[in-house]
Chain A
Amino acid sequence: MIIETKLLGEVEINESEIITFEQGLLGLPEYKNYILLSLDIDLPLALLQSTEVASIGFVIAFPYAFKKDFEFDLSEEDIQDLKIASVEDVITYAIVTLKESFKDSTINLLAPLVINTKTNTAKQIVLQDNSQYSLQFPLQLEIGSAI
């Protein structure tokens, strides 16, 4: 199917790759279906695009690209909600808030996006440890630098 995207115009997507956030993202419960699209840039960023509404598109990144030691435990509730059978099926992203410059931009490490790649179900989870992981962690590359 062809969808209209926020940053890439019209894009043809494979319906089998649609990721479903059954509860939506926090504050946006009405949009449940998204697709991951590559942004053609030299930065470890991708686009999480709603398949329903073009204006709903998030720039996301692997949290580990910006904080090497990022780690968290999934709660029983999250494991059940996402029907996770094996940790290898899980992939984690975090939402980036872009500002006019890279150094003012931030990544949300407090509420990562967890995707079960086997079932293509996903959830934005809120980590319990809000002293360790910031909602607005400065974007500074630790790995994957283009240099």
Chain B
Amino acid sequence: MRDLKEYELDVVDVAWCPGCGDFQIMEALKKALAEQDLKPSDVLLASGIGQAAKLPHFMKAHFFNGLHGRSISNATGFRMANPTMPVLAIGGDGDMYGEGGNHFLHTIRRNPNITNLVHNNMVYGLTKGQASPTSPLGFQTPTTPEGVVNAPVNPIALAVSLGASFVARAFSGDVEQTKETIKAAMQHEGYALVDIFQPCVSFNKVNTFKWFKDHTYYLEESYDPWDRTAALEKAFEQERFALGILYRCERPVFEYQLAPYGERREALYKGRPDPGKVQRFIEETYV
């Protein structure tokens, strides 16, 4: 177990509201890294735009803070070029399921070894409280004054149906369990989704800390995450939401199948390009 102080920056101006669930997710993440004995320079945090996506600016690790919705694409490209370094793609529900919805679908299909942490507070925090793709029906916001009429995205059902190789849900209020779930996701080989319920204290007065507490429960010991039908059933539960690893399966890891790898997995930057080889290829192919 490493000291959590290792992940602290010398100077930091945390822009989250007091009481925001993001603090606990960051704490859980630091603990998960520490317990896996990962130094800040052993791991990459990729993120997009939004309050959650600011996380890499508030702790120490390699970071790629890119565009809104694109962090899993950045993370996938990174893994394709460096199949050895653990990568986490971090963002909120708007970032991952809205702007990044298409990439979310196709990343699941690819199954790169990425841990995808989605801070799901069912509202847009950074832009001050508009509806998000996971906002419940009827949810009133400045842009949905008469309440949300679009059916909310069900990320768990979506991920399970697409065959995501690891699908879990956590609640930020339980740092210990969130940490354990993040650890399990990171140790999983392939794409791992961790949808993390997290109260937005400023803009979501419906899905509060208490609401999440009242509307969640932990999966029982006997639950079999390898059973896809059972996972889908759990995913569609409406009254109370299951926490824990809902689904897992074994699938080949995307980047390991790419031409440069195989037995030897080494970051591309270590390779030595050989223009002579190209010239020989030209002579053999096109004469």
A binds B: no
Q: Which residues of A contact B (CB under 8 A)?
A: none
